[in-house]
Amino acid sequence: MRPGRIPLPIAIMKDVARSPTSIFQLRHPSLVRGILLIVTAFPLSLRLGGFPNIDNLHSSRWQAIPALLTFVGMFELVRCLGRRWSLYHAGVLILLYSSLMILAMAVFLFFYP
């Protein structure tokens, strides 16, 4: 083996295994980052709308923050879509539909009287 060349199995493992801090690398698409943004926006939107008590439901200007978090999470999920149809592609589409429902809820709570 020539010096400076990586053996083939290690090169393959290097592409497959990523560091646990890969969610902080903004240049690379990340499903985990998109899901975390959306899952964070959902309870935040409910709490800002006064959800636990039905008498406290109100609109809030701060609902724009969860809506923006959801939109950024949706953009991150769109970046993860592949060009060819597969089960992975279908799973990402299901995540996109669920994030669209969270975005609709945040917008509804923004305009709720």
C-beta of residue 58 within 8 angstroms of C-beta of residue 49 = yes
Provide the residue-wise pLDDT of the chain in tens; the chain has 113 residues.
556 665 555 545 454 555 556 666 777 888 889 999 999 998 988 888 777 776 766 777 888 888 899 999 999 999 988 788 889 889 999 999 999 998 998 888 888 76
C-beta of residue 97 within 8 angstroms of C-beta of residue 45 = no
Look at residue 4 and tell me if it is in a domain.
no
Residue range(s) defining the domain that contains residue 85: 32-111
Look at residue 98 and tell me if it is in a domain.
yes
Q: How many folded domains does the chain comprise?
A: 1
Look at residue 13 and tell me if it is in a domain.
no
C-beta of residue 74 within 8 angstroms of C-beta of residue 34 = yes
Look at residue 62 and tell me if it is in a domain.
yes
pTM of the model: 0.71
What is the secondary structure of 49-89 as a DSSP string? TTTTSGGG----GGGHHHHHHHHHHHHHHHHT--SS--HHH
Compute the residue count for the chain: 113
Give the model's pLDDT for residue 78.
92
Look at residue 38 and tell me if it is in a domain.
yes
Give the model's pLDDT for residue 71.
92
